[in-house]
Amino acid sequence: MNRKRRRVLIGQALAILFVLLALLLLVLVFGAQTLHLTAIQRLIGERDERAARAAASAITHQLRDRVTAVNSLSFQAIALGDSTHAMADAGYLLPEFDAGLAQFTSNGTLVGKSQPSDIWDEEAVWEKLSKLAESDGPTGLSGFLTVIPHPGTGERILLVAGMMDSGSMMAGAVTLEKLAEQALGDVFSPIEQASAFIVDENYQLLYQTGPIYWTEEELPDHPGVVQALNGQRGATYINVGEEEHIIAYSPIHDVDWALVIEEPWQSVSDPVLETTELIPLMLVPALIVALIAIWFGFRQIVLPLQSLEEQASRLTHGHYEAIEKPVGGITEIQDLQAELIQMARRVNKAQKSLRDYLGSVTVAQEEERSRLARDLHDDTIQSLVALTRKAQLTKMSLDGQPEAGQLGEMEEMTIQIIDDLRRVARDLRPIYLEELGLAQALKMLAQDVGTKLNIPIVFTMTSSEQRLSQDVELALYRIAQETMSNVVHHARASHAEVHLDFTSGAVALTITDDGRGFDVPDNLADLAPEGHYGLLGLYERAELVGGRLTIQSEPNQGTCMTIKLPDLSTPVN
């Protein structure tokens, strides 16, 4: 019934799984676009934010490098005392200053320039530079920066100046577009609809590349510009018409400039989204095929293998007929079951022969023990008793002589030997078991072992005793005897219990101790290679009388041995 119920539950679980998979497919179809839009929007925003930060940092380094270059040239001119010579040696700086280098006197007179250029001839240039010098510069740099339009082309030119002695000034000019493109080139690859621009503190557009989504009048209210000029960096999203734009922004340090990157994120994500939207639909045929394969595999492979596993598990416990119930399934599983059936029959036959052999060996062993016990009792012990008597008589005749003491020692040794031989005889042939029954024999065994180990071993019994067949009582006693021997030699216990139970129409013997315990192997076949022949003997004795023996133990957790037998009670004669 439990097996059938489990199969029903598994079928229901499969049906529920199918419904869940179908619902999952619908969620994927209708939710994939939203999920991917959100994820791609975030990824693009993070990418543009990193690009804006990197580009702003690169521009800052470009500005610092050029200020350092102009200041170095100024110091060189002061050191040489000849600005003309210093200007002549400044050719290595021209790649950094594509609009040239120049030197002005304190009154604004142009005394030298690196190359022909209309920039330095303009009075507006000196006015700009002189105002910067008077205001101690607009930045935290050790130099002066300003932006002017090219007198000829109108493009933005960045002027970098450094003070010399007596108010003279060294200046360099670089096209702002070149500087910006050089900084943006490594981190920003503009696509058709992406743009980047730089704005100064007065909301004047200094540089722009890509399409324009705003007018210059709108720059003061542009979210990316406002945040960057306030020293903030990050990314935001705004609606421009029917599109949503990603705006990444970052301040350019040392100058009050803002760098903004703007692009409609749909232009980047659309090709990817079109592909991902089709993926759930492409999974439908694969899902159907997978469900069919799962159903077939479950019905023809999993369930038969589970049944075969359960039958094999029962087979290991001696239920050889269990393996013969057909499990169905694919041909390979049926062939495997047929082989297991043949193997089980051969093992069963071999075990029956082995059990008969072990039974004969056990009977012969008990007969030999009984013979040895009788020989010890009738011959050896009686002879020692007679020897003791003679020693006593001789000692009495030698009263007061030195030899009497030696005879007394011999008498004590002989009495001790007699006690040891009687104990051996009791172990070989448990007289208490034959005369008083199993309960009294186990009680005496517990007392003897407890006295020997000097530990408490408690015997208890549930219900009144019932006499069992001689073979069963002897088997239970021998199992208890072997278990007590293990307690003596291996367990190192401080307490043990022996419990005999005659309730529930059966008999059960349980022996527990609080010793060091051991790891119990899962398979009886592992006992012999590990050297546990005593445990293997316990299992074999239990099987010979139709009992089932179980051992529970763990290292440092003690041991519990239990043998249960069916109702084998017989009337007491």
Determine what percent of the chain is predicted with pLDDT higher than 70: 74
- Residue 250: pLDDT band (50, 70, 90) is very high
Q: What are phi and psi of 354, to 5 degrees?
A: -65, -40
pLDDT in tens, 98-115: 888 887 777 777 777 776
Residue 560 and residue 510 in one domain: yes
Residue 154 corresponds to which tokens in the numbers above? 């109108």
Give me the residues paired with residue 560 across strands: 512, 552
Rounded CA separation 290/288 (Å): 5
Q: What is the mean pLDDT of residues 212-234?
A: 86
> For residue 314, is it within any domain?
no
Mean pLDDT of the chain: 76
Task: Kindly list the distances between the CA atom of residue 426 and the CA atoms of 377, 452, 516, in Å, as whole numbers in the listed order.
Answer: 10, 15, 29
Contact 570, 467 (CB under 8 A): yes
Q: Could you give the CA distance from residue 51 to residue 551 in angstroms, rounded to a whole number?
A: 70
Domain that holds residue 334: 330-429
Answer yes or no: do 285 and 346 share one domain: no
Q: Is pLDDT of 170 > 50?
A: yes
Contact 249, 259 (CB under 8 A): yes
Residues in a beta bridge with 104 = 110, 169
Q: Is residue 208 part of a domain?
A: yes
Q: Identify whether residues 212 and 239 lie together within a single domain.
A: yes
Looking at residue 218, what is its pLDDT? Answer: 85
More confident residue, 86 or 562: 562
Q: Are residues 439 and 342 located together in one domain of the fold?
A: no
Q: At residue 173, does pLDDT exceed 80?
A: yes
Backbone torsions φ then ψ of 509, nearest 5 degrees: -120, 125
Mean pLDDT for the stretch of residues 264-285: 62
Q: Do residues 71 and 79 touch, judged by C-beta distance below 8 A?
A: no
- Model confidence at 5, pLDDT cuts 50, 70, 90, reads low
* 511 and 415 assigned to the same domain: no
How far is residue 361's CA from residue 472's CA, in Å, rounded to a whole number? 16
> What is the torsion angle, in degrees rounded to the nearest 10, for the CA atoms of residue 305, residue 308, residue 312 and residue 314?
120
Q: Which of these three, 379, 402, 429, is where a domain ends? A: 429
Q: Has residue 310 been placed in a domain?
A: no
Amino acid at 61: H
For the residues 35-55, what does the mean pLDDT come to? 81
Per residue in 154-167, pLDDT (tens digit) is 788 888 887 766 66
Place of tokens 């019932």: 466
Report whether 219 contacts 240 (CB < 8 A): no
Parallel, antiparallel or unpaired: strands 257-264 and 100-104: unpaired
Please compute the mean of the pLDDT values over residues 202-217 and round it to a whole number. Answer: 84
CA distance 477 to 465: 14
Instruction: Say how far apart CA 257 and CA 229 lie, in whole Å.
Output: 6
Listed as own residue / partner, the contacts of 151-157 with beta carbons closer than 8 Å and 24 or more positions apart are 151/118, 151/119, 151/122, 152/118, 156/206, 156/207, 157/99, 157/119
Sign of CA dihedral 181, 182, 186, 187: negative
Question: Are the beta carbons of 498 and 442 closer than 8 angstroms?
Answer: yes
Q: What mean pLDDT comes out for the span 311-327?
A: 77
pLDDT tier for residue 312 given thresholds of 50, 70 and 90: confident
**pLDDT on residue 1:** 44
**What is the per-residue burial (b if ≥16 Cβ within 10 Å, else e) of 490-504?**
ebebeebbbbbbbee
Residue 258 confidence class, pLDDT cut points 50, 70, 90: very high
321 is a domain residue: no
Domain boundary among 388, 405, 429: 429
Q: Which amino acid is at 62?
A: Q
- Distance between CA 201 and CA 535 in Å, rounded? 92
> In which element (H, E) is residue 430 found?
none
* CA neighbor of 259 nearest in space, from 346, 341, 181: 181
Distance from C-alpha of 184 to C-alpha of 250, rounded to nearest angstrom: 13
Domain identity same for 444 and 572: yes
The first and second tokens of residue 46, run together, are 């993070």
The kind and range of the H/E element at 297 are helix 266-297
The pLDDT of residue 141: 46
Q: Are 318 and 292 in contact (CB under 8 A)?
A: no
Tell me which of 62-76, 170-184, 239-253, 391-405 is least confident. Answer: 391-405
Of 55-64, 225-234, 334-343, 354-363, which range is least confident? 354-363
Question: What span, in angstroms and rounded, lies between the C-alpha atoms of 49 and 247?
Answer: 8
CA 183 to chain CA centroid, nearest Å: 45
Stronger pLDDT, 519 or 16, i.e. the higher one: 519
Task: Confirm whether 325 is domain-assigned.
Answer: no
Per the listing, tokens 């120049």 go with: 102
- Give the integer Cα–Cα distance in Å for 134 and 540: 110
| Final residue of a structural domain among 429, 456, 484 | 429
- Confirm whether pTM is higher than 0.85: no
- The number of distinct structural domains making up the chain is 3
Residue 400, pLDDT above cutoff 70:
no
Question: What b-and-e string marks burial along 128-155, b requiring 16 or more CB atoms within 10 Å of the CB?
Answer: bbbebeeeebbbebebbbbbbebeeeee
CATH number, residue 456: 3.30.565.10
pLDDT value at residue 139: 42
Decide which of 414 and 1 is more confident.
414
Which tokens belong to 12? 């229901």
Asked whether residue 271 is domain-assigned, the answer is: yes
Q: Can you give the pLDDT at residue 251? A: 93
Q: For residue 521, what is the DSSP state? A: P
Is the four-CA dihedral 347, 352, 356, 358 of positive or negative sign? Answer: positive
Dist. CA 558–CA 87, nearest whole Å: 97
Across the range 136-160, mean pLDDT stands at 68
Same domain, 384 and 256: no
Q: For residues 245 and 376, state if they share a domain.
A: no
- Same domain assignment for residues 453 and 538: yes
- Classify residue 405: in a domain, yes or no: yes
Residues 502, 380: one domain? Answer: no
pLDDT value at residue 442: 86
Would you say how long the chain is, in residues?
573
pLDDT for residue 249: 92
The span from the CA of 523 to the CA of 76, in Å, is 92
Q: CA-CA distance, 146 to 173, in Å (whole number)?
A: 10
- 54 plus 183 within the same structural domain: yes
Most confidently modeled range among 52-61, 79-88, 381-390: 52-61
Evaluate if residue 311 carries a pLDDT over 90. Answer: no
Q: What is the mean pLDDT of residues 136-155?
A: 65
Residues 570 and 487 in one domain: yes
The highest-confidence range among 45-59, 138-152, 269-283, by mean pLDDT, is: 45-59
| Confidence (pLDDT) at 345 | 82
Please state the separation of Cα 6 from the chain's center in Å.
Answer: 31
Least confident of 238-252, 269-283, 358-372, 421-435: 269-283
